[in-house]
Amino acid sequence: MFLPLHDDTPLKVIRFQFVTLAIIILNVLIFLYTGPLGSDHILASAEGNFGLVPLQLLHPQTTTDPIAEPFTLISYLFLHGGWMHLIGNMLFMWVFADNIEDAYGYAGFAIFFLLCGVAGGLTHVFMMPNSDSPLIGASGAVSGVLAAYIVLFPRARIWVLPFFPVPIPLPAVLVLGFWFLLQVYHVAAARPGEDIAWWAHIGGFACGLTLTLILRKRLFFTPNGRI
């Protein structure tokens, strides 16, 4: 796998990626509370109450609070199971999400992020309807961000840290295209009981791709018109 470090796409409309930063800070604070600064009981309780459990969403009679189950399609995005899980998702957010926020605007990006997360969660639910394990992590929504980036900025240069410790610049279409092919491979090669929800990545990516292809001609607005 590889780690993205930086891109060369400047912001054109917004002055700063406030929504992206807010999402990252919220994820970090929740992780600290449910993880290092909390207890095993708090983490287990958070996953059980706010993680997305396919069996409970499709069969709410199996849970003690059926009214709250639809809310887990959003709340699961803000829980992470470990430092690497958190850092990986938030690093991809920091590198790529600022330009998508620039394109969609503050409110539009917040809605876009949540829609991709919901789509990723629903894809996981319908592909694994009998699972009673909670799905957690922002990967579904982040995957939608990556799809939007590859549509809007395919020629952008991304500095990545591949298998050797020397950053190299590569075109976004190559970096993110390779990332998506990895998700497809993992879906095909996944073993029963594997704890990474690859289908959520596919669903979030498909949502981000579809929304951005449909809306791309309406994006990039300034007070004086489209740039």
Q: For the segment 169-192, what is each residue's pLDDT rounded down to a tens digit?
A: 999 999 999 999 999 998 888 776
Q: Lowest mean pLDDT: which of 17-26, 39-48, 129-138, 195-204?
A: 39-48
Reference 116, options 74, 161, 67; nearest CA is: 74
* Interacting residues of 152 by C-beta distance below 8 A, sequence separation 6+: 99, 100, 103, 212, 216, 219
pLDDT value of residue 223: 40
Residue 108: both structure tokens together: 């539009």
- pLDDT tens, position by position, 56-82: 999 887 776 776 789 999 999 999 988
Neighbour count for residue 41 (Cβ, 10 Å): 8
Q: Tell me the C-alpha distance between 197 and 133, whole Å.
A: 10
Percent of the chain clearing pLDDT 70 (strictly above)? 89
Tokens at residue 183, please? 């998700």
Total domains, the chain = 1
Cβ(34)–Cβ(46) below 8 Å: yes
Distance CA(192)–CA(141), nearest Å, equals 24
Residue (of 207, 215, 83, 200) closest to 145 by Cα position: 207
- As beta bridge partners, residue 171 has 157
Instruction: Please write the tens of the pLDDT for every residue from 98-139.
Output: 999 999 999 999 999 999 999 999 999 999 998 989 999 999
Closest CA relative to residue 30, chosen from 54, 16, 49, 17: 49
4: helix, coil or strand? strand
The pTM score is 0.90
Confidence label for 227 from pLDDT (cuts 50, 70 and 90):
very low
146, 209 contact by CB (below 8 A): no
CATH number for the domain that contains residue 174:
1.20.1540.10
pLDDT band at 89 (very low <50, low <70, confident <90, very high): very high
